[in-house]
């Protein structure tokens, strides 16, 4: 029996070792335009689970659902390159490597890297909360352009969305539709959206915190790296609330949060119904002198959203976006009738 177990363990080890050894970098052939699934478009064949897919020059269309360890656009040491990845026909891309920068775009000075994502789901996660979509990668990048264009029905689900290292490089995250799921944080060093000056503009997409239909918490910027956040007109903030103590939250290090023109959507999870006048502080600024402003263009019935001062010694300067549940009188009457019916049934 011991010999059999030993042989099984050895076989398992060898299989694991073989799988690790086979993991490699598969590079898209220069200047080719074509489908991801065509083996001859890649040096070494189509990337497999555990591989790094590198797109230097050329245009790739994702035409199958694929899992890889890492996606990189652009040469690491030069020359300058121009690469485009189109994700548009509903195929899904899952990136699961153990490093942090799992989906990196611009990699060398003077290059252009673009992702056009209009359908299907891109999920970037290393299981540690640090899997990152990074628009600009590498400390040697002094100029160039990185674009991630999210639109239509697409879903980008990532632990971290980051602008990258260099402030003089153009990095655009253009969210004109679709759903942006952030499980950990939105970060930036320099600009993350040219149209917003030194901040992040959501556009008309839906922002989900933590995961879809799950309570979560994210940060925008960090203690050494503040950033602005602005909703585009028609952009949607989706807030999940599971109880009085469990709901989506945002902590922001930055100078601006403007929700003017945005839509607020509230999902009550697990059948939870808030009590009248209960409130939920969903968006808090680390520096109250730089807190947000603006009113939502659309709120669910029975809810209000106001900027409030939550400091221990209030001075009238707001620092937090508070949602308060104040149902319409008719709703309150229905709730009262329901409670009365319950009491009568108990008798």
> Could you report the per-residue pLDDT of 162-190, keeping only the tens digit for each?
987 666 678 888 888 999 999 999 987 54
Domain ranges of the chain: 23-201
By three-state DSSP, how is residue 270 classified?
A: coil
**Which letter does DSSP use for residue 174 in this model?**
E
User: Three-state SS for 35?
Assistant: strand
Q: Per-residue pLDDT tens for 67-102?
A: 999 999 998 888 999 999 999 999 999 999 998 999
Q: List the helix and strand counts (H, then E) for the chain.
A: 2, 29
CA distance 115 to 148: 5
pLDDT at 64 over 80: yes
Closest CA to 306 of 316, 297, 294, 290: 294
pTM, two decimal places:
0.86
DSSP-derived secondary structure letter, 344 = H
Angle at 78 between CA 75 and CA 79, to 5 degrees: 110
What are residue 220's DSSP bridge partners?
A: 186, 252
The DSSP annotation for 87-106 comes to: E-SS--EEE--SSSEEEEEE
H or E segment and range at residue 13: helix 2-22
The residue among 90, 130, 88, 85 whose CA lies nearest residue 105 is: 85
- Map residue 200 onto helix, strand or coil: strand
Q: Which residues pair with 241 in a beta bridge?
A: 247, 268
Cβ atoms 226, 255 nearer than 8 A:
yes
- Give the separation between CA 70 and CA 29, rounded to whole angstroms: 17
Distance CA 210, CA 248 (A): 8
Task: Find out whether 159 and 186 touch, Cβ atoms under 8 Å.
Answer: no
In this predicted structure, the answer to whether residue 123 has a pLDDT above a threshold of 50 is: yes
Element (H, E) at 187: strand 179-187
Q: Which of 138, 106, 102, 107 is nearest to 122 (CA)?
A: 102
Q: Pick the residue with more confidence: 74 or 325?
A: 325
**160, HSE (Cβ side, Cα atoms, 13 Å):** 22
pLDDT digits (tens, 9 = 90+) for 281-307: 999 988 777 777 778 889 999 999 998
Burial environment of residue 291 by CB neighbours within 10 A (0 to 12, 13 to 18, 19 or more): buried
Q: How far apart are CA 248 and CA 129, in angstroms?
A: 17
Q: What is the pLDDT of residue 158?
A: 98
| Contact between 65 and 91 (Cβ < 8 Å) | yes
The per-residue pLDDT for range 134-152, each reduced to its tens digit, is 998 877 788 889 999 999 9
Is pLDDT of 310 > 50?
A: yes
Asked if residues 229 and 186 have their Cβ atoms less than 8 Å apart, the reply is yes
Is the Cβ–Cβ distance between 187 and 159 less than 8 Å?
no
Determine the pLDDT at residue 59.
98
CA distance 252 to 256: 9
């Amino acid at each position: 029996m011991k010999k059999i177990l030993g042989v099984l363990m050895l076989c398992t080890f060898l299989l694991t070792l073989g799988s690790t050894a086979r993991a490699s970098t598969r590079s898209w052939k220069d200047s080719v335009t074509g489908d991801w699934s065509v083996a001859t478009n890649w040096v070494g064949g189509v990337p497999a689970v555990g591989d790094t897919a590198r797109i230097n020059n050329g245009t790739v269309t994702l035409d199958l659902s694929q899992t890889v360890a890492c996606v990189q656009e652009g040469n690491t040491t030069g020359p300058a390159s121009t690469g485009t990845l189109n994700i548009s026909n509903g195929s899904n891309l899952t990136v699961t490597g153990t490093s942090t920068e799992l989906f990196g775009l611009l990699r060398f000075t003077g290059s252009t890297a673009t992702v056009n994502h209009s359908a299907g789901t891109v999920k970037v996660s290393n299981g540690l909360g640090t899997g990152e979509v990074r628009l600009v990668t590498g400390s040697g990048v002094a100029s160039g352009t990185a674009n991630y264009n999210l639109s239509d029905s697409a879903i980008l689900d990532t632990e971290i969305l980051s602008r990258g290292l260099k402030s003089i490089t153009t990095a655009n995250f253009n969210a004109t539709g679709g759903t942006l799921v952030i499980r950990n944080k939105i970060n930036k060093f320099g600009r993350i959206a040219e149209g917003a000056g030194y901040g992040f503009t959501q556009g008309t997409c839906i922002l989900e915190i933590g995961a879809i239909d799950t309570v979560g918490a994210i940060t925008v910027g960090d203690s050494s790296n503040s950033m602005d956040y602005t909703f585009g007109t028609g952009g949607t903030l989706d807030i999940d609330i599971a109880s009085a103590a469990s709901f989506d939250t945002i902590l922001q290090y930055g100078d601006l949060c403007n929700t003017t023109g945005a839509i607020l959507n509230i999902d009550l999870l697990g059948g939870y119904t808030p009590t009248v006048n209960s409130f939920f502080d969903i968006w808090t600024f680390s520096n109250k002198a730089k807190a947000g402003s603006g009113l939502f263009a659309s709120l669910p019935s029975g809810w209000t959203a106001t900027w409030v001062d939550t400091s221990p010694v209030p001075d009238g300067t707001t620092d937090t976006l508070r949602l308060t549940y104040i149902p319409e009188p008719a709703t309150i009457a229905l709730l009262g009738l329901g409670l009365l019916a319950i009491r009568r049934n108990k008798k």
